[in-house]
Each structure stands twice: as structure tokens, then as C-alpha cells.
Amino acid sequence: MRALHLVVTRSREIRRGEPVFAGSRVPVRALIDHLDRGKPIDAFFEAHPDVPRDTVEQALALGLEALLRSVPLEPAPTQASLLPRQNEGGVILNAEELTAGLVTGKRVRCPACRSLIFQSWPEGWDAHAATRCRGLTGKEPGARKSEFKRRFAHLFRG
């Protein structure tokens, strides 16, 4: 793997110090924005033919290495509870540890994103999972709902 200075550089004389791909004036941010918009990487190379493919690949590899170093280790799972834990508002906080019989019809915090409160579980789970749940990785609504249903099948009756 190349050294960082051979992949990305910063200089006050080039784009006011914004990081660019080495040997070019193309900002690294341009690639990030391009990918965030869901565009294919080949379209980036067509738009910026002066940026070598191997330089971008090395930059992506370095970025992923940095990301891996910063991902925290999730705490070990605690003993699954047999009883619901509720907050002061009566919302069940540990649905992922429970069964459908303990959560159906109750106020439940989404076990995936842990932000939405379902007023009567499982009502509305599919619309939430399809478009809004931040705890899912799928891109398409059907895939997102399938992921939710697979991960939390134990919270649904028959």
C-alpha cells in the first residue's frame, strides 16, 4: 500500500489547502460527494480522467483502514432478559431480548434503530423498516423489510 502523501496531498497553493488526489487538482471530497449521490465510480473517472484509478483505489483502501481503526468494539451481549425493561413513559426498551408475547400491543422502542417508538407493536413496523429505520443496511424497501423481519422474527406472532 502506498504512503498517504503519494495518494492524497494538501497544499495552500492548491485549492486553498483542500485535500486533493496526488498529482492532480481534483478534491477528494469530489469523489465522496459523487459516491454519496449513488453514482458509479467509473463515471467519476470519466469526469476526472487526470486522476489515476490506482490512486483512487489506494485512497479508498487507506480510508477503510482508518475506518477500521476507529470502529468501536460493541459491548458483549448481556444476559437476555425474561422481563421487559421500561422507561418512565412505559416504553419497552429491550424488545430485542424478548418474545412476541411480551411486546405485542405494547409501546416498544424500535430494536434496530432504537429511536422510533411504536405505539402498539407491531403496527407500522413495515413502513418504518422500508424507508426510515437507520438500523438497517438494505437500500431497497423490500430488502430493508426482509432484513428487519429476519433479525427480529422472534417479535412477530406466527
pLDDT per residue of the chain (158 residues) written in tens, 0 to 9: 667 778 888 988 888 889 999 889 999 999 999 998 999 999 999 999 999 999 999 999 988 888 888 888 777 556 566 889 999 999 999 999 999 999 999 999 999 999 899 999 999 999 999 999 999 998 899 999 999 999 999 999 87
Strands (E), the chain: 8-9, 20-21, 108-109, 117-118
DSSP 20: E
Q: Which residues pair with 27 in a beta bridge?
A: 20
**CA–CA distance, 125 with 136 (Å, rounded to integer):** 13
| Helices and strands (DSSP H and E) totals, the chain | 6, 4
Q: What is the CATH topology of the domain spanning 4-70?
A: Arc Repressor Mutant, subunit A (1.10.10)
In this prediction, residue 80 carries a pLDDT of 61
The pLDDT of residue 51 is 92
The closest alpha carbon to 112, from 68, 63, 78, 146, belongs to 146
- pLDDT at position 79: 57
Residue type, 151: R
- Angle between helix axes 53-70 and 28-36 (nearest 10 degrees) is 80
- As to burial, measured by CB atoms within 10 angstroms (0-12 exposed, 13-18 middle, 19+ buried), residue 153 is exposed
Domain extents for the chain?
Answer: 4-70, 95-155
Check residue 1 and give its pLDDT. Answer: 61
Looking at residue 78, what is its pLDDT? 60
